[in-house]
Structure 1
């Protein structure tokens, strides 16, 4: 049966001082787990869907597992261990692009292509160092690659974005050198600016690239193939109403209070969508120190004389000064306009709901909290729904928000996977008239598929079951 989010709506309404009648006006999306499968000997990280073959493509460090959407059974496994470590996969029009870091991660990596019907290799191209994320543009003509270029072994390559022409397989590189920076990009050197994740506008002309450690987003013009500017995202004030957090991890309880701490948003995943005739992008504000963690420490080791409750919080050694503690992460997700101006932030709601559901991990209170990491968007019945994956809860958790009106996004429900842990990759999609969410969970090494449907609409569930049956019938005919 589709699960209804009524109980959580009541709790959140109470927590934020609004009536249940107000909360109930938010469109509800029911959810139900269809299946979950374990990635034996691996760690499920990134997932994408191929609607042509009704399969999910799931990355593990050394292979791609191709799973049936119908029941999660293993269709095939593609071993890429000879080429390095797999970081990402993206599927479009029957073609899968797989980002593979070189065995020496500071060397140039590759993107390897596969036909999703035959599973045959379809060539490869060389890209930058440590290709961390790969995505097709909406029109399917190009593949974009975030080359993170993290330091290792005393070598620190520059980050970049590779732009691959799908038809010709030619590669161009968008460099971050000399790009104008505004709003205070957090970086000491060019090598510290490391692309993490990419979202593309609906018209395939612009890309938004998270530069996580630099607390910024790069604006990439795909017509010219170059960055136009790097926009710093600023900080979040945890002393303001609606932003209260718990910064003490040794009492075993969730106790959010306003604190004199600012948080660097430092988003990981990013997604773009259209609303009110404009492009907006959504960020999961995870937070992250540099690869060698040289810029993080306990507050007590940076500033002396702090109250006990402040001493253990992890802060940036670069940004923190006496009287101004700067931590990592926003413990939230945000919506920004196409120029990088924030129009919405979820405040502390993700942690309030996690605590209400009994899955908040107090051991993370001192360091980035629930860590919003993944994001996927899907239009359901004319509404744009955001799915936000929380990496540091005691069970897999994905928050659902209606973001149709960017400035007035509203919480819907939290999907909890009882046997899953640390959702890394999210893919919301529509197939045969029904809606689904695939989640790859890194720590539990599981991939889970959820059915989604507006509620209360009994006929929607019947349609979903019929749609899934059609998927099974197609799969049986193919076999």
Structure 2
């Protein structure tokens, strides 16, 4: 149901000189359900005299998302009789049309004007309409996360940020950046990991940032002190014994082995110092491991060869900004990286720059810089809860664009095409020497009067005035006001083509809609990760998708997405990159009192073939609570769960099939399972299969991009 939010701000319109009576709307903002029928908005007159008072009422043009199909103004003039009590209240009637369209919350504004025998004070009311037809995505639940237990870092003030798992030793390696320690845990009992040892990393540099492990070798990314100097990669064995230290670029923020184990790469962020007087270049360190760890050698892939293309890249959408006119290579800040299946290409997020870089690993160079997009929050399906000051959470469309600004990234392949999933957290540069962030309401932030003719209304706290935006973009005609507003992050995830960076899918407002409707965390919707104050992040970046990993189970690729602020993990079936399906959401933070697992920063998916327990697991490293949470990924038999949810149906005929050929309405790739989940047959690019050799019984057909279909063989 849509709620209409009527906002009246203190604009002086049509002041009468007859008498100084006060005319005000009673509420600056109101919320109504779509089924309310008639919305009543109060207007009050005080300090009356012996003459009647009138005031005109109109719907504000050039503001809001509700139109004539959503509401009808019944009252266009109010008359307050001279004999009425003082103060006197009358009501504006607005008919709210209860349609059947599935919509976000909508809003409009009413304005008082042309008063006689009185002066108008508060003239505007913003009204939200809350839709009653919108359906929150329903979890398919063909897999679910079962919380087994957690490990809590033993020292007060510790963090748990990034983790890695070694199957041979059955150990977990956890970055505790707050204490500059690498924690080694035993995974012998998944429900209760135990401490094996902790490695003090302070002897190797200024701070530990990331960890990965491959073939019994642990690689740790360590920044220098100061962070603007060259960092390093420290190699250890699984017991924490030192093996070798190799120089890396400035501020190595993330580290990973290639899938084939031949190389170790670090994303070197190259952040400036606080004064912005030292701004090192971002880079990618590529360490060749093919001759063993003792002979490991490093090459640094830089962006300097792209410096001459800075204007072209900026025109394409790559953000290059900051103090002291930095070069492109200085301004680019590699954040996170992932690899293709053949280990010859890495895709790197350049978070602050809203771009990705493609790395040619064998040739040890940057091959491409590709800009990412923005989310138009004014488009249906792309709404957001833009403020913490409206009467309740209202996911609505606003004239603002969300910069993707991704943090985590994971890659996978479908039908020979490489894709990357990016968690569009958002991030702002905030230094003593340069800061880009501002609130829309700030007096110094001027909105273009042509693009925002009702700018004063938009600046209200209960509209989008408190939303944080960047001041580095938006003045398209260089006249010192903002024509376009850009906020931080998309409050969602995107799937991009990992070859050229083109967006294939973006999750719209689903993450906020799902968390708002969640029976557990909905009551602390958009809370931060260090308190339980509801909507504390609505005016900033919302849930902040932080990290993502991909797990392949049977023929299905699942994305596990960690939400840094509200917490928890979203699961999507991403087998069809253009049409992911919501599978499940779990959150193990406490809501009655602050506690549990807060601030997921790192995730690790364990395939059943890659751990001695023979089960699927998901591990989460939670930065704020300093905990490592363990979940078993429970896989339901084929056909169990909301199998037809949101995916298109495939016509399978004849069904039942009496042996012979079973035909499909499309050419598909997939598998046929029995009721126990056993694969009976697989097929690729087929429009039929032969069932002559399949025993009579019930089966489930799972094809890429389609809902699971039940098949009866007779």
TM-score normalised to structure 1 length: 0.88
1:334 has 2:494 as partner: yes
In structure 2, the residue matched to 1:346 is: 507
Q: Deviation at 1:291?
A: 4.3
In structure 2, the residue matched to 1:92 is: 214
Larger Rg computed on CA atoms: 2
Call closer, same or farther: CA 1:240–1:87 in 2, change over 3 Å: same
- What is the number of residues matched between the two proteins? 443
Contact 2:349 2:356 in 1 (8 A): yes
CA-atom RMSD in angstroms: 2.2
Contiguous gaps of at least 5 residues in structure 2: 1-101, 105-132, 448-454, 476-481, 527-534, 590-595, 641-674, 678-714
Aligned pairs for 1:29-428 (under 5 A) are 29-41=143-155, 42-61=158-177, 62-69=180-187, 70=189, 71-82=192-203, 83-116=205-238, 118-152=239-273, 153=275, 154-166=277-289, 167=292, 168-179=295-306, 182=313, 183-188=316-321, 189=326, 190=328, 191-251=330-390, 253-292=392-431, 294-301=435-442, 302-304=445-447, 305-307=455-457, 308=460, 309-321=463-475, 322-338=482-498, 339-357=500-518, 358=522, 359-361=524-526, 362-393=535-566, 396-418=567-589, 419-428=596-605
Q: Deviation at 1:323?
A: 3.5
2:397, 2:363 → 1: CA distance? 45
Say which SS state the counterpart of residue 287 (structure 1) adopts.
coil
Contact 1:216 1:232 in 2 (8 A): yes
Runs of 4+ in 1 over 6 A off after TM superposition: 14-20, 457-461
Contact 2:430 2:437 in 1 (8 A): no
Contact 2:103 2:380 in 1 (8 A): no
Contiguous gaps of at least 5 residues in structure 1: 1-13, 462-479
1:44, 1:252 → 2: CA distance? 36
1:28 has 2:150 as partner: no
1:448, 1:28 → 2: CA distance? 21
Higher normalized helix content (fraction of residues): 1
Say which SS state the counterpart of residue 601 (structure 2) adopts.
strand
> 1:397-439 CA deviation, whole Å, 9 max, x = no partner?
1100000110111111111113111100111111243110100
1:290, 1:88 → 2: CA distance? 21
Contact 1:454 1:460 in 2 (8 A): no
Between 1:320-329 and 1:228-237, the stretch displaced more is: 320-329
Q: Deviation at 1:257?
A: 0.6
1:444, 1:253 → 2: CA distance? 28
Between 1:146-155 and 1:258-267, the stretch displaced more is: 146-155
Say which SS state the counterpart of residue 435 (structure 2) adopts.
coil
Call closer, same or farther: CA 1:104–1:19 in 2, change over 3 Å: closer
Q: Deviation at 1:19?
A: 8.6
1:275, 1:433 → 2: CA distance? 26
1:213, 1:323 → 2: CA distance? 21
Contact 1:150 1:291 in 2 (8 A): no
TM-score normalised to structure 2 length: 0.60
Say which SS state the counterpart of residue 228 (structure 1) adopts.
strand
